[in-house]
Structure 1
């Protein structure tokens, strides 16, 4: 109507009947509570209220067009954002490779990295602070997963005992925890410390935990200086440097489960779903390489 100044011309342009256009304009005027058009010869002229509405309508339609284009870009993976909260060793190993894979196939997706240990990382997802979390759990020490989250298992991360170079037990290809009852221990994050205490308790002894620190590189440095031994997940072994630390597998084998957690509805969001695919691919490659 604004462009054509005529019910007939507007109806023809939009593919509606003149009666339908007339009814819509009358309904719009009733909603506005004031006339929007006045008759001018055979056509119509906008009132002051009509001009105000027309200006805002153009802005709204322009914003809707931009919004539609942006939503289409997100849906087709030309754009988008996914916030991932992970524990340190996953942030340093699994995520960089997954992000590289994602960047190669969907370069428009931006990944925001957060760092937190479970169960806090799971709470972040449940509370909307993160779109996806990577977390780990030890056998017998699993926390209850919030009902609104879906768990996607990624890999089993084998635990290793780290000893300083020259340690007398390095002549063995694998170690039992009972071989280490007299050792001083360096323990990591609270969940890892709990697992160490749990496993040792099952064997009837309490480990002498001399140092506790969450930082992986610090733990490695303390071991290298001969200040203790440490039980570390396989994901952290890529951080080992030089010949100052050696790793030995445990017998029987001990593992932790690494999984991704996401809100059920977010599985349908393209960027989040694509990030999960990339993580699953990287985890599968790692599992195949260690089998």
Structure 2
């Protein structure tokens, strides 16, 4: 590959018609210009100039390079300008993969913060539950993944993955408003041993079943759905009760259901993940820091 500096020098020589003229234009000495042109000819493997008395004329190869040099330099300048804009967050885009309740809460709050300071930075959002969201990141199909974990369900160790804690999201039980435990401010999981249940995504369901077994009962799971609105509709209709994350109830709550904290039940941890090699990319670093700030300000 030819050094772009040689192309710039060559273009100046062609414009000026001589090494001396290019040297005056660029502020170099004439020997320095001659040396770089000899280096360029070695790089392309053929002479580019021929002497015609005291002037220079282009060889056939030189004429070819002269036809392309201007457009090549313009393309390089345009690329440099675009890279500068991306580095300074005046352009570019970032791809986020998040689970649904984060897409409805954390992501909008973060996007609004970024838009106020960097209105030309574009954000692309796709949805996936963990661990699929983190696998999407590993495949290079997104730049930042938002995922949640419970104790014992952390993402697979990976030296190429960086985790940034965003927030701890409390898990609550959702009951129909006329439920026998509605008057209590909080409950324990063992108090709900005889209930029918509505379970959510596979990671939530696995954690839920383990917690129930830990306090001595096997849950009667009557329905399974990932749709948070459907879960609340089923609870309101009296077909079962459910554990739900506080993030969901911060923006979506059926009027005929109530929620209660479950004592001795661990929160789920929400984190942002990025590939280690990418965390210094300006837009990615900005997104991670903004997620962290939104998490600190969010109290589900």
Aligned to 1:8: 20
Q: Secondary structure at the match of 1:250?
A: strand
Answer yes or no: is the 8 Å Cα contact 1:217–1:239 preserved in 2: no
Q: Could you tell me how far 1:253 is from its partner in structure 2?
A: 4.3
1:26 to 35, 38, 45: 38
Aligned to 1:203: 215
Q: Aligned equivalents of 2:202 and 2:66: distance in 1? A: 62
Gaps of 5+ in 1: none
Aligned to 1:112: 124
Aligned to 1:186: 198
Answer yes or no: is the 8 Å Cα contact 1:220–1:240 preserved in 2: no
Aligned to 1:171: 183
Aligned to 1:128: 140
CA RMSD of aligned residues (A): 1.6
2:296 to 284, 287, 290: 284
Q: Could you tell me how far 1:102 is from its partner in structure 2?
A: 0.5
- The 1:279–1:30 alpha-carbon spacing in structure 2 relative to 1, beyond 3 Å, is closer
Q: Is residue 17 of structure 1 aligned with residue 17 of structure 2?
A: no
TM-score by structure 1 length?
0.94
Q: Aligned equivalents of 1:92 and 1:145: distance in 2? A: 28
Q: Is residue 103 of structure 1 aligned with residue 126 of structure 2?
A: no
Which of 165-174 and 28-37 deviates more?
28-37
Aligned to 1:36: 48
Q: Could you tell me how far 1:11 is from its partner in structure 2?
A: 2.0
Q: Is residue 78 of structure 1 aligned with residue 86 of structure 2?
A: no
Which of 31-40 and 173-182 deviates more?
31-40
Q: Aligned equivalents of 1:46 and 1:65: distance in 2? A: 25
- Per-residue CA shift, 1:160-201, capped at 9, x if unaligned? 000112111111111111111111100000000001101001
Q: Aligned equivalents of 1:34 and 1:240: distance in 2? A: 71
Q: Is residue 263 of structure 1 aligned with residue 255 of structure 2?
A: no
Q: Could you tell me how far 1:31 is from its partner in structure 2?
A: 3.5
Number of positions where the alignment pairs a residue of Structure 1 with one of Structure 2: 288
